[in-house]
Chain A
Amino acid sequence: DQQVKQNSPSLSVQEGRISILNCDYTNSMFDYFLWYKKYPAEGPTFLISISSIKDKNEDGRFTVFLNKSAKHLSLHIVPSQPGDSAVYFCAAGTRGSARQLTFGSGTQLTVLP
């Protein structure tokens, strides 16, 4: 049973435009969400996170939105740059325990120059 789902395996966006990556979850116990970026042959790099007490968190070009009632989160990248081309994973966990994260299967973002 996939508790975290990224239904779009790939996304292509023109440089300078907005990239929107989506993620759905089913476990209502999740209360902390993260986005990671991964280049080939490297480990995931932390991008941005959000707690369930918030509905938005912003860090530079990256904004994460959380819709708890829909169990949905999204990552917006504005403006998109060619260097953003990578696989993006969303992950969810439970605060307090700070234990395992559950990851989605990833979305390959390609930013076209």
Chain B
Amino acid sequence: DTGVSQNPRHKITKRGQNVTFRCDPISEHNRLYWYRQTLGQGPEFLTYFQNEAQLEKSRLLSDRFSAERPKGSFSTLEIQRTEQGDSAMYLCASGGQGKVQETQYFGPGTRLLVL
């Protein structure tokens, strides 16, 4: 399967703990996006990488959130000192170049529950 993969698929943590999620994009894609989705809402943009450069960050991305894409391949999203309001589905998407460069392809998501 050459789609976007995310790990773990589920994470339960206690408030105040740190969590880290991983995303492996489609191999030839140079763009990588993180979104967050809460119940009854559409995905909300968090941050965007082109290769290893983080080019955009949403104001939703508080200073407790950090994302990296060190070699322009996989990416990690870390949340420090988790809060109950961080409970959500965290989605990763990737996009490439060419005719359909605007299209973003999503992974299955990581569902986070903060107790």
A-to-B contact residues, CB < 8 Å = 4, 32, 34, 36, 41-46, 49, 89, 91, 93, 95, 98-106
One of B33, B91, B103, B108 near A100 (C-beta < 8 A): B33
| Contact indicator B104/A101 (Cβ below 8 Å) | yes
Contact A89 B42, CB 8 Å, known A45-B106, A95-B102: yes
What is the bound-complex CA distance between A6 and B49, given in angstroms? Answer: 28
Known: A41-B111, A99-B55. 8 other contacts (CB 8 A): A4-B42, A43-B4, A43-B6, A43-B91, A91-B42, A93-B102, A98-B101, A105-B40
Please name all residues of chain A whose beta carbon is closer than 8 Å to the beta carbon of B109 when the two chains form the complex: 42-43
Contact size range, B: 20 to 34
Any chain A CB within 8 A of the CB of B65?
no
User: Is the pair B42, A34 in contact by a Cβ cutoff of 8 Å?
Assistant: no
- Residues from chain A with a CB closer than 8 A to the CB of B95 are 98
Query: Can you list 29 A-B contacts (CB < 8 A)?
Result: A34-B102, A34-B103, A41-B108, A42-B109, A43-B4, A43-B106, A43-B107, A43-B108, A44-B43, A44-B106, A46-B103, A46-B104, A49-B103, A91-B42, A95-B102, A98-B95, A99-B33, A99-B48, A100-B33, A100-B45, A100-B58, A101-B104, A103-B42, A103-B43, A105-B40, A105-B42, A106-B40, A106-B41, A106-B42
Partner of B48, one of A91, A100, A102: A100
B44 at the interface (CB under 8 A from A): yes
Interface residues of B in 81-104 (CB under 8 A from A): 91, 93, 95, 100-104
A-facing mask of B57-72, CB < 8 A → 1, else 0?
A: 0100000000000000
Assembled-state Cα–Cα distance A99/B108 (Å): 20
Contacts of A104 in B (CB 8 A): 42
Nearest CB of chain B from residue A89's CB, rounded to whole Å: 5
Q: What is the bound-complex CA distance between A93 and B104, given in angstroms?
A: 11
Specify the chain B residue showing the minimal Cβ separation from A51. B102
**Closest B residue, CB atoms, query A31:** B102
User: With A43-B106, A93-B102 in contact, do A99 and B40 touch (Cβ < 8 Å)?
Assistant: no
